[in-house]
Structure 1
Amino acid sequence: MKTILFPARAARGAAAIAFSALLAACASGPKDNISLIPAQTAEQTSKDGLFTQPVKWERSKPGCKGECPKLELDSLVFPGVPRLTELIDHALATMTEVAGNTAPPYSTIAGYEEYFWKTAAPRDSTLLSARTRYRNRHITLVELNSWLYKTGAAHGMSATQFLNWDNDRQRVLGLNDVLAGGGRPAFESALRRVHEQWLRAHPDAQLDPEGFRRVWPFQPSENFGLTDGGVAVKYDSYQIAPYSSGQPELLIPYEQLRGVLRPEYLPG
């Protein structure tokens, strides 16, 4: 099983590195000292946030008969913010599986679709999706998801990336943009504490705490999202837990991040 699964994990790692580099290129500077974080869920605050339109389709390989590769998209466009629409399209494309750690030969979903039809085996399947998790006048948190199944694999592989969009400055917020000066060690310490709480509630970790920690050690992460209740940090399958655990999401409450985050990214 490992010969099938872990090369895919390495490919997703390359995609995550490329995605992180893309976010760094879009990073913004500090804001005025007011609270910008969303106070409610996306559904509650949608009237105050960016206007979105759905884009959804499902396709099989053209001209194929019988069992055919499938590609599905369930995403969003932001008609008033073409830069964000293009970024989401590019980011989803980079979250698709490619062999090895080389850059993919495409940069858009349309490019991936062309590549996929040329290379996919009969039962290969890809699902790409994007949704707004939280949004207000200042910030839009987009959750990007990919699910890929390769013919002959035991199961599909999923990945998630958060994209924190600054509506005012038209830029992506990286972790360094929201942390106070020198705040990274404190942020990782807070994340580690939340991870410890998560372990104490995890059934597999309770059965064999030492063995679980040895196989699935804590990992810091920059895959964060600003939510109404705290900073969410998302992990892919096999990063800190087995496949059966899904994609763990840890939430660091804002009260644990005072002095760690810049004041404008804390509740008012």
Structure 2
Amino acid sequence: MKKNYVNAWASAAAAVISLSALTACQPRNEPVQDRQNSAQAQTAKAESIPLIQSKSVPMKLAKPEACDAQGCTQYSIQTVETNVGWINQYFAERIEKADPVAFSSAPNQKVDLSEGSAAGLSQSTTAVRYISQWGHMAAFALESYSYSAGAAHGMQHVEYVNFDLKAKKRLALQDVLLKGAEAKVLDSLFDANAMWLASHDIDRAKLQLSDNFYYGASGIVFVYPLYELASYAEGMPELKLPYQMAKGLFKPEYLPNLPNYENK
């Protein structure tokens, strides 16, 4: 009888220990189903933001060399082919709108390009380049170069295109700034680049914000066209706003995570 009592007590104790161990493995007040739903939600959120894959591809042109009464222009155009359809469409539409003659089926005019004729041969090059991605942000560069026959030199331009992959849109400067922050951003940008601006005789009243910007390694870089702030020989000027100075001026979702250097 005593032996049966001991066995019964041991079985009950083992059951209690097993139940306690199972309960200890689960956080309190968080049912298993809720945790599963949370994990699934996180996975779905991550899957909704694509990891960009991109390659450069030439665009098919109706007229690689287009001619009119003033002369002919040779076109060389490349775009990107990514795994995101609306990004591909954005660049295709931008390029066709910028150089419609290269995609037109209208016949060329006959032009005399022999030596001594008034007509000349110009060149136009366009290329899209994938730069980087962090989280829901992806950056591309739309590069162009044009040379008009008889000109002293060609003209180049780089437009940086930033996309919000969650919102599925191209971001303008006003989209990433906090409301009413433009003046403070301009002042901060001037202060961060005061020495370079002073060397080019540019005072605070002359400086304007550029809508052409990209996210650099240590700050947001504002890019200006040829001749706007410096000579042609200096290229397209770039002014950097350090990320620490941008904090509180840009929307948090459009700033990378910054290290906290505050003493605790």
Give the alignment's TM-score, normalised by structure 2: 0.63
Aligned residue for 1:178?
Answer: 176
Q: Is the 8 A contact 2:160 2:213 kept in 1?
A: yes
Q: Is the 8 A contact 2:65 2:74 kept in 1?
A: yes
Identity %: 24
Question: Structure 1 pair 184/219, CA: closer, same or farther in 2 (3 Å)?
Answer: closer
Aligned residue for 1:54?
Answer: 56
Deviation at 1:261, TM superposition (A): 0.9
| SS of residue matched to 1:55 | strand
Work out which of the two has the higher radius of gyration on C-alpha atoms and give 1 or 2. Answer: 2
Match among 249, 253, 257 for residue 260 of structure 1: 249
Deviation at 1:81, TM superposition (A): 2.1
Unaligned runs of 5+ in 1: 1-47, 94-106
Q: Is the 8 A contact 2:136 2:165 kept in 1?
A: yes
Q: Which amino acid aligns with 1:198?
A: W
Question: Structure 1 pair 62/154, CA: closer, same or farther in 2 (3 Å)?
Answer: closer
Deviation at 1:163, TM superposition (A): 1.0
Aligned residue for 1:190?
Answer: 188
Unaligned runs of 5+ in 2: 1-49, 112-118, 258-264
Question: Structure 1 pair 87/246, CA: closer, same or farther in 2 (3 Å)?
Answer: same
Deviation at 1:183, TM superposition (A): 1.2
Deviation at 1:68, TM superposition (A): 6.4
Equivalent residues, number: 193
Deviation at 1:237, TM superposition (A): 0.6
Distance in 2 of aligned mates of 1:114 and 1:126: 13
Aligned residue for 1:75?
Answer: 79
Aligned residue for 2:150?
Answer: 152
Q: Residues 1-268 of structure 1 correspond to what in structure 2 (within 5 A)?
A: 49-56=51-58, 60-61=64-65, 69-78=73-82, 80-93=83-96, 107=97, 111-114=100-103, 118=108, 122-199=120-197, 205=199, 212-213=201-202, 217-268=206-257
Distance in 2 of aligned mates of 1:256 and 1:86: 35
Distance in 2 of aligned mates of 1:149 and 1:71: 11
Question: Structure 1 pair 235/185, CA: closer, same or farther in 2 (3 Å)?
Answer: same
Q: Is the 8 A contact 1:134 1:228 kept in 2?
A: no
Cα root mean square deviation, aligned? 3.1
Give the alignment's TM-score, normalised by structure 1: 0.62
